[in-house]
Amino acid sequence: MSDVHASALSPVRQIPAHELVVDQMRLALELGQFRPGDRLPTERELAEILDVSRTTVRAAVAVLEREGLIAVRRGRGGGFTVQAPVYDAAEMRREFRRNKRAIRDAFDYRIIVETGATRLAAGRRRAADLNELHKLLRGMDTALHTALAEQSAQHTNDFQTLDSAFHLGIAQAAQNDRLLDAVADARRRMWLPVGAIFGRLEPNANDYHEAILEAIENREPELAAARMEEHINDTRQTIEAWLKR
Q: Residues 189-211: pLDDT tens digits?
A: 776 555 555 556 778 788 899 99
pLDDT of the residue at 54: 93
For the domain made up of 17-82, the CATH class stated in words is mainly alpha
Q: Tell me how far apart the alpha carbons of residues 59 and 52 are, in angstroms, rounded to a whole number.
A: 11
Predicted confidence at residue 209, as pLDDT, reads 96
Task: Report how far residue 187's alpha carbon sits from residue 167's, in angstroms, rounded to the nearest whole number.
Answer: 9
Predicted confidence band of residue 98 (pLDDT cuts 50, 70, 90) = confident
> CB–CB of 144/159 below 8 Å?
yes
C-alpha span between 36 and 31 (Å, rounded): 12
pLDDT digits (tens, 9 = 90+) for 135-187: 999 999 998 988 888 877 677 778 888 898 999 999 999 999 999 999 988 88
Mean pLDDT of 39-67: 93
68-80 pLDDT tens trace: 889 998 877 778 9
pLDDT score of 198: 57
**Would you say 166 and 133 are in contact if contact means Cβ atoms under 8 Å apart?**
yes
pLDDT at residue 199, rounded to an integer: 57
Domain 89-244 in this protein, CATH class? mainly alpha
How high is the pLDDT of residue 191?
Answer: 66
At residue 241 the predicted structure's pLDDT band, cuts being 50, 70 and 90, is confident
pLDDT at 60: 93
99 pLDDT band, cuts 50/70/90, is confident
Least confidently predicted of 110-119, 155-164, 198-207, 212-221: 198-207
Cβ within 8 Å of residue 195, ≥6 positions away: 160
Q: What is the residue type of 123?
A: G
Q: At a CB cut-off of 8 Å and minimum separation 6, what does 198 contact?
A: 156
Segment 3-23 mean pLDDT:
78
Task: Give Rg (Cα) of the chain.
Answer: 20
Q: Does the pLDDT value for residue 90 go beyond 80?
A: no
Confidence (pTM): 0.76
- Cβ neighbours of residue 236 under 8 Å, at least 6 residues apart? 103, 107
Domain ranges (residues) in the chain: 17-82, 89-244
